[in-house]
Structure 1
Amino acid sequence: MPFSLFGADKISLESINSVEKSIPNIILWAVPVMLFFTVIEMVVAYYQEHDFYDKKETIGSVLVGLGNLVVSAAIKLALLYLCVWIYNALPWRMEFQWWTLIPCYIIYDFFSYWAHRVSHEQRFWWATHVVHHSGEHYNLTVSYRLSWIQHIKIIFFLPVAFMGFHPIIFFVTNQIAVLFQFWVHTEYIRRMPSWVEYIFATPSNHRVHHGSQEQYIDKNYGATFIFWDRIFGTFEPEVEPVIYGITTNIPNKANPLFINFHEVADMINDVKQARGFRKKMFYMFGSPVAIAEEKKRLEVKETAEEQVTV
């Protein structure tokens, strides 16, 4: 029988439930393992008297993670319908072959790099990602801090779906990509062999990404592969100790609602107060760094004007 990759049969929408059941729920299976290693890290850090965990931040991370699982489960079927609809519309539908997971994963990671980068460079998308950076301590629970509204970034991954990968392959790829990022959120793995550090987003590479120092901000976006950063000029090695968090850290560290939506609320407030369409668009889609500098400049100006008035 001749080998054939493209031209697979369409997936009947009536059989969507059976397709959903065919997708292994890898993340749900992995939760006990993740909790196991998190507890080990927490206990070891406690006995070694390392300041890797904060009680309120840990509570916030766990609650955010649980909420994300609920949101993901709630919209899974809708996303599957979207993927199947796209798949059926394509004349180059790929047959279901497990080996296609490899090219799908590499391509998916390429788009993940750009989705991640845009999430740092434009405030609208930053509001869907800041959740992950709001922790001031670096530990395995940080991997739980995934925004409840991050799924709108599916738009960045539609090109992968339009390449014709089978929906099951697409969903499995997504889950593996998410799980890969669990182990990189730790202080206990320092440096790995140079070839690993060169290719993959290791704990050392990803610690840089969570740094709030000027040389670390907006660096090392790679989710699985760090060579994207080397190619596109956003790589930065870990040199000096990383100071975690965001430039203006949040006060309510255990409140999952505040953790998820504080930036959305601030953005809406800034857009309302801004004068003119151009300024409003700046506060919505401008660089978070540029917006922070602009707000600081305005604060200094207002303070100076008040002093002159007095």
Structure 2
Amino acid sequence: MIEIESLFGAPPIPADQIWTIEKGAPNLILWGAPIMLALTAIEMIITYIQEKPYYDKWETLGSTLVGLGSLVVGAAVKLGLLYGAVWIYNQMPWRMELQWWTLIPCYLIFDFFSYWAHRISHEHRFWWATHVVHHSGEHYNLSVSFRLSWIQNLKIIFFLPVALFGFHPIVFFTVSQVAVLFQFWVHTEYIRRLPRWIEYIFATPSNHRVHHGSQEKYIDKNYGATFIFWDRLFGTYQLEEEPPVYGITTNIDNKANPFHINFHELQDIIRDVRQAKGFRRKWFFLFGSPIEVARQKQQAAHPKAVVEDQSV
């Protein structure tokens, strides 16, 4: 039986030993990158042989360049995040020992906050700018998993509560990487509906295809990263019915430029905030619902079309 005092009695990590934590935290994403690239290449070949419309060469190039940039950004901020995690760990009076089984509760708690971070990223425009990169692809394939925003690390603030539980920093960083790697396999058209119990618990390809759909019934649904039961619990679940239409409501033109893919929404936000009159309008264009922002901008650009549509 686990002794509570022993589990929560870990000593603080001295500053001069942080390098041992860095070496002890496996770089799973870096190790997994060649495997993901190989599987993506295989899917591309199969798609080409079967003449399936699952890939677009320019979009795939954009996804690859965005993914490579994400690896560089991740490596650059890793040490800073590690120091931050160790500092928080040292402040906790309930520090956990490094035990393999603590990966399980940490993963479940991490996924809960991942659900809310993901949901907020869809409901508030500033945070949408850190996530729209992932949704800007109009085709659904394994390369879409590479489309991770270069500024997505801003969302680390949503995961601070996980660190406050006192999990060992190596456990925290291992869990965060496994959570990212899990989401690779769900970005495919080749895996259809899985057995009901799996679809009920996990974020499967079918569940996640819904999340990438741009139809009204699919928008802002199925946020779960690993577990889909969060969506069932909080009322955001949607079953895959008709085939999703992928992309965002206003798709981008420059599909291969990783800088445009990453920062086009930020540029739009800056322009809208500058042009808005009054604090409330500026705040709306910065933190309002992306769907409502798009609707109001469309109304402003085509007022006659809106009037005619309402009169039908």
Q: Choose from 231, 234, 241 the match for 1:232.
A: 234
Deviations 1:252-271 (A, max 9, x none): 00000000000000000000
Letter in 1 for 2:264: H
Equivalent-residue separation in structure 1 for 2:303 and 2:64 (angstroms): 41
Give the match for residue 192 of structure 1. Answer: 194
Equivalent-residue separation in structure 2 for 1:271 and 1:15 (angstroms): 46
Q: How high is the TM-score relative to the length of structure 2?
A: 0.96
Equivalent-residue separation in structure 1 for 2:99 and 2:240 (angstroms): 39
Give the match for residue 221 of structure 1. Answer: 223
Q: Choose from 28, 35, 38 the match for 1:36.
A: 38
Deviations 1:53-82 (A, max 9, x none): 000000000000000000000000000000
Give the match for residue 245 of structure 2. Answer: 243
In the TM superposition, what are the counterparts of 1:3-152 in structure 2 within 5 Å?
A: 3=3, 4-152=6-154
Q: CA deviation at 1:288?
A: 0.3
Equivalent-residue separation in structure 2 for 1:213 and 1:100 (angstroms): 40
Instruction: State the percentage of identical aligned residues.
Output: 70
Q: How high is the TM-score relative to the length of structure 1?
A: 0.97
Equivalent-residue separation in structure 2 for 1:160 and 1:18 (angstroms): 22
Equivalent-residue separation in structure 2 for 1:248 and 1:38 (angstroms): 27
Q: CA deviation at 1:2?
A: 7.6
Report the CA distance shift for 1:5/1:65 in structure 2 as closer, same or farther (over 3 A).
same
Letter in 2 for 1:43: I
Q: Choose from 275, 279, 282 the match for 1:280.
A: 282
Letter in 1 for 2:296: E
Equivalent-residue separation in structure 2 for 1:303 and 1:135 (angstroms): 28
Give the match for residue 309 of structure 2. Answer: none
Report the CA distance shift for 1:152/1:2 in structure 2 as closer, same or farther (over 3 A).
closer
Report the CA distance shift for 1:249/1:14 in structure 2 as closer, same or farther (over 3 A).
same
Report the CA distance shift for 1:5/1:43 in structure 2 as closer, same or farther (over 3 A).
same
SS of the counterpart of 1:24? Answer: coil
Give the match for residue 183 of structure 1. Answer: 185
Deviations 1:162-184 (A, max 9, x none): 11000000000000000000000
Q: CA deviation at 1:20?
A: 0.1
Equivalent-residue separation in structure 2 for 1:265 and 1:13 (angstroms): 40
In structure 1, runs of 5+ residues without a counterpart are 305-310
Give the match for residue 172 of structure 1. Answer: 174
Give the match for residue 155 of structure 1. Answer: 157
Give the match for residue 271 of structure 1. Answer: 273
Q: CA deviation at 1:303?
A: 8.6
Letter in 2 for 1:18: T
Equivalent-residue separation in structure 2 for 1:6 and 1:241 (angstroms): 49
SS of the counterpart of 2:7? Answer: coil
Superposition RMSD on alpha carbons, in Å? 1.4
Equivalent-residue separation in structure 2 for 1:303 and 1:120 (angstroms): 27
In structure 2, runs of 5+ residues without a counterpart are 307-312
Letter in 2 for 1:160: V
Letter in 2 for 1:299: A
Equivalent-residue separation in structure 2 for 1:20 and 1:10 (angstroms): 15
